[in-house]
Chain A
Amino acid sequence: MKRLLERREFILSALAGAAACTRQPREPIVPWGAAPAAGAPEEPLYFATATPLGGFGLGVLVKSLAGRPVKVEGNPEHPASLGATDAFAQSWLWSLYDPARAQTLTQRGRPHAWAAFTEWLRGALKERRARYGEGLHILTQTVTSPTLAWQISELLDAFPAARWHQYEPLSQDPAREAARGAFGRDVQLIYRFDRAECVVSLDADFLAQGPAAVRYARDFMRRRPKLMVIETMPSPTGSKADERRAASPREIEAFSFALAGHLGLLPDAEPEEGAAKWARELLRHRGASVVVAGDQQPPSVHLLALASNQKLGNLGRTVQLTEPVEALPAIELASLGELVRAMETGRVEMLVMLGGDPVRDAPADFDFAAHLKRVKHRVHVSHYFNHTSRLADWHIPEAHPFESWSDIRSFDGTVTIMQPLIAPLWEAKSFHELLAAMRDRPDASGYELLREYWRGRAYELFLRAGRSLAFEEEFEAFWRRSLHDGFVAGTAAEPLAVEPRPNLAALLKPPRRAAPLEIRFKPDATIWDGSFAGNAWLEELPKPITKLTWENAACLSGATAARLGLASGDVVQLRLDGRTVDAPVLIVPGHADGAVTLTLGYGRQGTGFDAGRIRSAAGFFSAGGLDLRKLGRRHALATTQEHHRMEGRPLLGGAKSAGARPPADGYAWGMVIDPAACTGCNACVIACVAENNIPPVGRAEVLRGREMHWLRIDTYAEGPEEALEFVHLPVMCLHCENAPCEPVCPTGATVHSAEGLNEMIYNRCVGSRYCANNCPYKVRRFNFYQYADHSTVVRRMLYNPEVTVRTRGVIEKCTWCIQRISAARIAAARSGRRIRDGEIITACQGVCPSEAIVFGDLNDPDSRVSRLLAARQTAALLEHLGTRPRTRYLVRERRDG
């Protein structure tokens, strides 16, 4: 096996080195924007495609250099992106070049050819066909892909007795249930924060979580409506609230009832002062307010939010109702439950699992693994050989989104046809190809299948648009345009003119009584439901607020910890309905009392603990009756920030200096950051990692305080615990005019450029670390070991060739993406002009959903950065030190009232 690997690596290296073009996908792909002249392989090409999250797509542009995808940017024309991305979208590059991905099709661990599998499949399906497919079950995750949905429906036509189940561990079930209750059908809610004046979030982290977060953050931050949040665990959204309340899950439910009561929906609801205040605020903004219920809130809260929005006249204005985006919306927990019951009764003979890891993330009381073993034929397709793969007969490596054809819909329904940027690095198949094989077309390529579906669909679209029927030509143009743009025009979900049932309150169960200790299961901010576990870029990303990396913790408030006699790092045993899991405790400022928050997805790769072990179908997102016992052990938590108080220090303010003093001619680069817009979502951090070849260092090194991120988000929680004010401060090298790091370097390895950059010359650095000590902002990072992986061939393909990969013993830090400045300079020089404003977008700036970072030329009075500096009050970090940083922070403008 080892020799096999070596041979593979050798071949890969040969391919990567000698003939990059041979790794190109065979089918024609279409670059975005104006393609450079042929024969310029050093010129980057951008290809529009999408990255999936929970079944929904985010339109992205992937930068390809010499045939290698090296960076993910947002697609400015895609409605879910508008040019920005979330952290997950960036991370797909790491997994593309991850040697830990499943590389070989296997049957019980033995490698096989695709042909051998399809041969077996044909035989296995022949048996099923005789009985109309009875005993054939397909388990997918949430499906929005039109082509996949079409293929599944074709399959179900051929095997009418077969069953299709959908399951996501972070499903939208409560929202779907509420919609069905309110409208009697599936309805999708889309929020228009760009039209809102006042927003109430019922534990909804809409600014940073979920497939719509990027768009929502952009809309929200452009408008900046008043935001009131009630939540259990402090979230990026909660950190931006004008008024924030911490409450346990059941208190949130009770609060929702009280809020509805004060809005006049429930005459007999108990009055509550805080809810009354928020209700007054909402009523002042009828038609321009939003009440958002969190994805993991019970259906009753969703219904109350819906009823509130109806009452406030928001429906159709700030809350839009559309057709569902999923191909077949399902109450997924129920759908999986059906499958489990069928397995239990021995009715499942063949189970084809497309993606996911249900063995690991199905509710603990389903006992999925035990039932799965009773299924005769088990087929699993996935990126990684996970717990479910281990129990499958056949495991088929799933093709990566950047190496296969597919399509996907974004939160608003817009379809992106996903084009590959590179031929599969290993033997991998897409879901489409597997489904085609099930229809006896084992050799159909994803490309053919996509085109087949879209040929039919385009015909329909053209007809509707009243276009001519010179079809073949039109279709090719349509196909090219769709690939080029990164989305298919006119595919957004249709608006619905439906009204909720008149008396929604009648549907409601009364709020549950608060339990002494409640538990809340949340998606993890960096590894989501665990499907990103092991992705080192994401694993090492400090989670918002807690700044925890590589693991999860049982998060609770200081008061609750004090009541239970706990301190951060104490290991406790959590017991819920007889199931237990051991977890380290982490005290989180602003967490609700009487509740413990666990994030999902850990415990798979050896770090963290598996919260799923105590998660049952009944308490899928929250539950009462948690029992907690201190075990007397301690566990060191790998956080990147240990202090969340400013200690009374005027970090942004105090003495005023003259500010930056750019030279009169040439360029003078500068940056302005708006901390008020920053949600702490981490997109910038991981974009910086991807752009600048920043190596992950691993949990042990993070514990020693050696994370390498050039850009970090300092989060402070100021004020009394009951009214905490969170401040996110993105801090990277601030490029001081009087940089303290420069004069202390013995070899002149860090010096100032004429354009105001604090430059780092790696190959002159001997590693005295004096500069790092003397940097008051502590933004300089040192390569204590050889962190960058020089030896794994496929990992080397990940590196951005425009940025030096650093070696052991040298300092590194933010360069303001000097490679992008150089590229713009070359482009400008070629056409004999100055660099235009907006031509240089730093990696962090480009992906920021809330546009908190602006970079540009201070010598150009019309540049965005100059205009911001002129119009707004700004402050330097630690202004009194006289370092005169070129990066300045906008001073928050307080809202009146």
Chain B
Amino acid sequence: MAEQALAFAPAARRYWWAAFAGASLLVVLLAASVAALLTRGLGIWGINAPVGWGFDIVNFVWWIGIAHAGTLISAILLLLRQSWRSGIHRLAETMTIVAISCAALFPLLHLGRPWLFYWLLPYPNTMGTWPQFRSPLVWDFFAILTYGLVSLIFWYLGLLPDLAVLRDKARLRRSRIAWCLLALGWRGSARQWEAHKSACWLLAAVATPLVVSVHSVVSFDFAVSVVPGWHSTIFPPYFVAGAIFSGLAMLLLITVPLRALLGLEACITESHLDAMAKVLLASGLVVTYGYLAEAFFAWYGGSPYEQFTLANRLLGPYAPVGWLLVAANVLAIQALWFVAVRRRPWRLFVVALAVSGGMWLERFLIIVVSLHRDYLPAAWGIYRPTFWDWTTMLGAAGWFAWLMLLLARFFPLMPTAELGAELHPAAGAAVDPDSGPPRARLIGLAAVFPAPEQLMEAVRRAHAAGYQRLDAFSPAPVDGMREALGQQPVRLSPAMFVGGLLGALGGFLLQFWTSAVEMPLAAGGQPAASWQAFVPITFECAVLGAALGALPALAAATGLPQPHHPVFDIPGFERVSRDRFFLLIEAGDERFDPVGTRDLLHGSGAHEVHEVYEA
């Protein structure tokens, strides 16, 4: 089954090529649209005086919303110990990263002078200027940067054992080297597994508030403004729910066809789909609540401007958008109350399609329809998307598909380690005993076992025999292995705490110093040290600091990256990522004895015992 997850059948390969060709065309379209934009200017889009943001920011919010489902499934469901996530979380994480790359495109392109985007970065410069940290756009910048980096770390960390699988399976030298570098020398040691698990948990713990914060920050772009229809305290939770809603819908849109195409029905079962559909329904109901709350606030708040905005959404020139949105986001999801929909992939697909479109329309409604008629009726206008608006949007979707297809083809979409943990290995073929010439220094003796139980037994025996310098290697984590080996638990949290603290302090002090001391600007009548405005970036920096802090601790605990390790020379060690279990007793151990130790290993049921020499 793990093999299935990684390989494309010839028929599927043809579909892949067709899809890839289509996506490539759209990427070319995107490139053309960007070229037109850069050479001619933002005027090629339909934005104008009252509607300063159009498809650009609609698409940005939509894509960043989609990105949220990945983290939700990876992090939040991990913390909630939802086992059904295992079949889809890699897919979701991959989708997250790709969606972030799509989302990040738009804030960049929407600038009047995109080549100066780096002026949003705080860096000492000859102009003597700093970003204006009260602006939600700068918060956005930090939030997206943090989210992108943390998602990437999370994704890569989860991918490591699978990259090792690819490395070990690779036939061509070229690809073996590439995978070897990417896998960083992962060898499935107990210590590595322990650190890996701990890192995943802790990153999930920081990613969970992060995912909530990112879409909250995105919603601040609107909520802190004075525009009727934007200026609302319900926006952060409403946006987060909407993000999860749209992200799950997109995940379903990808999962359902992929499942059919690659025959993944066994990995992604109907129960998986059912669970996703339930979460989709739940988040959709939260979104519906958001709509009702908005309407209530507009009515109860008594502001004629807010009331008008609400009425204009449903009765104004963009009324079809408003009603379609209600149909898709409120009515269509009611079908998910029925098992007959939740467990039928293609029915689910239709609902997900409606929700994806509906959520795009929601962003259009919030952004364009609020802006086009705000306070002064004399300044009202209308927004009409142009050819280039559509091509840029389609192009971005193409970019998404293109990257997803590439990653799906070359990277494992199913986490083999997690799935493999449930597997029982086939009986191994006998491998020739080591017959090479004796090499440099003996590192230790390695025993090969066909199953985790035997490995565990051998570890227990060795430990009982007083061996201290032991290490076990397995394709998947083996429960109780750390205790059996007598290793100390891996503790990443202190480093992450320090990293987070440094990040928060650094972020806050940077903002405070630049805004209140170094370059105090009078903006909006706010005090120079307006600390409230510095909270979002401080938080993002804390999360980024914590995530980055985990990396050196992780490296220290696992000894990675170390692309080559003497154990790789053990004949048959490439199967450690699939179906072989190894125990290494190091020569440095006080009790090590080339003969006695070998006997011990043989005695505990090892198929083979190899000498491991320094490379």
Residues of A at under 8 Å CB distance from B?
A: 641-649, 651, 701, 704-707, 712, 714-716, 729, 731, 736-748, 750-754, 764-770, 772-774, 776-778, 781-786, 808-811, 877-878, 881, 883-884
Chain A residues whose CB sits within 8 angstroms of the CB of B43 once the complex forms? 701, 704, 706, 784-785
- Sample of 19 further A-B pairs with CB below 8 A, known A712-B378, A742-B524, A782-B112: A645-B377, A649-B377, A737-B525, A739-B525, A745-B523, A746-B141, A747-B119, A748-B523, A753-B522, A765-B113, A767-B42, A767-B111, A768-B112, A772-B52, A773-B52, A773-B227, A774-B227, A782-B49, A881-B375
Which of A737, A744, A753, A773 has the most C-beta atoms of chain B within 10 angstroms of its own C-beta?
A773
CB nearest to B380 among chain A residues = A643
Chain B residues whose CB sits within 8 angstroms of the CB of A765 once the complex forms? 112-113
Counting CB contacts under 8 A, is B540 at the interface? no
Chain B residues whose CB sits within 8 angstroms of the CB of A809 once the complex forms? 41-42, 111-113
Which residues of B366-385 are within 8 A (CB) of A?
Answer: 371, 374-382, 384
Contact B132 A769 (CB under 8 A): no
Contact B120 A747 (CB under 8 A): yes
Contact B113 A769 (CB under 8 A): no
CB nearest to A729 among chain B residues = B378
Can you offer 24 A-B residue contacts whose CB atoms are under 8 A?
A: A707-B49, A712-B378, A737-B525, A738-B524, A740-B524, A742-B523, A743-B135, A743-B524, A746-B132, A747-B119, A748-B131, A748-B521, A748-B523, A752-B521, A752-B522, A768-B137, A772-B49, A776-B226, A776-B227, A781-B49, A782-B112, A783-B112, A786-B41, A878-B375
Closest chain A CB from B511 CB (angstroms):
13
* Bound Cα distance from A731 to B376, whole angstroms: 10
Chain B residues whose CB sits within 8 angstroms of the CB of A645 once the complex forms? 377
Which of B46, B112, B114, B127 has the most C-beta atoms of chain A within 10 angstroms of its own C-beta?
B112
* Bound Cα distance from A646 to B53, whole angstroms: 25
CB nearest to B379 among chain A residues = A778
Chain A residues whose CB sits within 8 angstroms of the CB of B132 once the complex forms? 743, 745-748
Closest chain A CB from B446 CB (angstroms):
57
**Which 5 interchain pairs have the tightest Cβ spacing?**
A767-B112, A809-B112, A714-B378, A705-B48, A784-B43
User: Given the known A-B contacts A740-B226, A751-B521, are A782 and B378 also in contact in the complex, defined by CB atoms under 8 Å?
Assistant: no
Counting CB contacts under 8 A, is B533 at the interface? yes
Chain A residues whose CB sits within 8 angstroms of the CB of B49 once the complex forms? 705-707, 772, 778, 781-782
Contact B41 A785 (CB under 8 A): yes
Chain A residues whose CB sits within 8 angstroms of the CB of B116 once the complex forms? 766
Contact A764 B119 (CB under 8 A): yes
* Bound Cα distance from A736 to B524, whole angstroms: 8
Closest chain A CB from B26 CB (angstroms):
25
Counting CB contacts under 8 A, is B152 at the interface? no
A contacts with B: majority SS: loop
Counting CB contacts under 8 A, is B519 at the interface? yes
* Bound Cα distance from A644 to B221, whole angstroms: 30
* Bound Cα distance from A645 to B373, whole angstroms: 13
Counting CB contacts under 8 A, is B388 at the interface? no
Q: Mark each residue of chain B from 112 to 141: 1 if its CB lies under 8 Å from any CB of chain A, else 0.
A: 111011011000000101111011111001
CB nearest to B377 among chain A residues = A643
* Bound Cα distance from A151 to B315, whole angstroms: 68
Chain A residues whose CB sits within 8 angstroms of the CB of B119 once the complex forms? 746-747, 764, 766
CB nearest to B304 among chain A residues = A649
Chain B residues whose CB sits within 8 angstroms of the CB of A754 once the complex forms? 522
Contact B111 A768 (CB under 8 A): yes
Closest chain A CB from B365 CB (angstroms):
15
User: Given the known A-B contacts A642-B380, A748-B130, are A706 and B48 also in contact in the complex, defined by CB atoms under 8 Å?
Assistant: yes
Chain B residues whose CB sits within 8 angstroms of the CB of A731 once the complex forms? 376, 378-379
Closest chain A CB from B97 CB (angstroms):
25
Chain A residues whose CB sits within 8 angstroms of the CB of B46 once the complex forms? 704
Chain B residues whose CB sits within 8 angstroms of the CB of A707 once the complex forms? 49
Partner of B381, one of A642, A644, A753, A878: A642
User: Given the known A-B contacts A647-B308, A706-B49, are A808 and B112 also in contact in the complex, defined by CB atoms under 8 Å?
Assistant: yes
Chain A residues whose CB sits within 8 angstroms of the CB of B226 once the complex forms? 740, 774, 776, 881, 883
* Bound Cα distance from A450 to B30, whole angstroms: 66
* Bound Cα distance from A773 to B370, whole angstroms: 10
* Bound Cα distance from A705 to B368, whole angstroms: 14
User: Given the known A-B contacts A649-B305, A738-B525, A767-B42, are A774 and B111 also in contact in the complex, defined by CB atoms under 8 Å?
Assistant: no
Chain B residues whose CB sits within 8 angstroms of the CB of A878 once the complex forms? 375-376
* Bound Cα distance from A704 to B227, whole angstroms: 21
Contact A785 B40 (CB under 8 A): yes
Counting CB contacts under 8 A, is B526 at the interface? yes
Chain B residues whose CB sits within 8 angstroms of the CB of A641 once the complex forms? 378-379
* Bound Cα distance from A853 to B235, whole angstroms: 41
* Bound Cα distance from A783 to B112, whole angstroms: 8
Counting CB contacts under 8 A, is B50 at the interface? yes
Chain A residues whose CB sits within 8 angstroms of the CB of B221 once the complex forms? 770
Which residues of B289-305 are within 8 A (CB) of A?
Answer: 304-305
Partner of A784, one of B47, B131, B141, B374: B47
Q: Mark each residue of chain B from 306 to 332: 1 if its CB lies under 8 Å from any CB of chain A, else 0.
A: 001000000000000000000000000
Chain A residues whose CB sits within 8 angstroms of the CB of B138 once the complex forms? 746
Chain B residues whose CB sits within 8 angstroms of the CB of A748 once the complex forms? 129-132, 519, 521, 523
* Bound Cα distance from A774 to B138, whole angstroms: 16
Counting CB contacts under 8 A, is B110 at the interface? yes
CB nearest to B113 among chain A residues = A809
Chain A residues whose CB sits within 8 angstroms of the CB of B375 once the complex forms? 649, 651, 776-778, 878, 881
Contact A648 B137 (CB under 8 A): no
CB nearest to B384 among chain A residues = A704
CB nearest to B138 among chain A residues = A746
Contact B377 A743 (CB under 8 A): no
Contact B52 A782 (CB under 8 A): yes
CB nearest to A767 among chain B residues = B112
Contact A773 B110 (CB under 8 A): no
Chain B residues whose CB sits within 8 angstroms of the CB of A706 once the complex forms? 43, 48-49
Chain B residues whose CB sits within 8 angstroms of the CB of A785 once the complex forms? 40-43
Contact A643 B112 (CB under 8 A): no
* Bound Cα distance from A782 to B112, whole angstroms: 8
Chain B residues whose CB sits within 8 angstroms of the CB of A782 once the complex forms? 42, 49, 52, 112
User: Given the known A-B contacts A642-B381, A647-B308, A784-B41, are A751 and B523 also in contact in the complex, defined by CB atoms under 8 Å?
Assistant: yes
User: Given the known A-B contacts A739-B524, A748-B131, are A705 and B137 also in contact in the complex, defined by CB atoms under 8 Å?
Assistant: no
Counting CB contacts under 8 A, is B21 at the interface? no
Partner of B137, one of A701, A744, A808: A744
* Bound Cα distance from A576 to B111, whole angstroms: 53
Chain A residues whose CB sits within 8 angstroms of the CB of B371 once the complex forms? 773
Q: Mark each residue of chain B from 506 to 523: 1 if its CB lies under 8 Å from any CB of chain A, else 0.
A: 000000000000010111
Partner of A704, one of B48, B521, B533: B48
* Bound Cα distance from A785 to B110, whole angstroms: 13
Counting CB contacts under 8 A, is B225 at the interface? yes
Which of B114, B304, B376 has the most C-beta atoms of chain A within 10 angstroms of its own C-beta?
B376
User: Given the known A-B contacts A643-B380, A773-B371, are A744 and B225 also in contact in the complex, defined by CB atoms under 8 Å?
Assistant: yes
Which of A740, A748, A767, A785 has the most C-beta atoms of chain B within 10 angstroms of its own C-beta?
A748
Which residues of B497-513 are within 8 A (CB) of A?
Answer: none
Q: Mark each residue of chain B from 32 to 72: 1 if its CB lies under 8 Å from any CB of chain A, else 0.
A: 00000000111100111111110000000000000000000
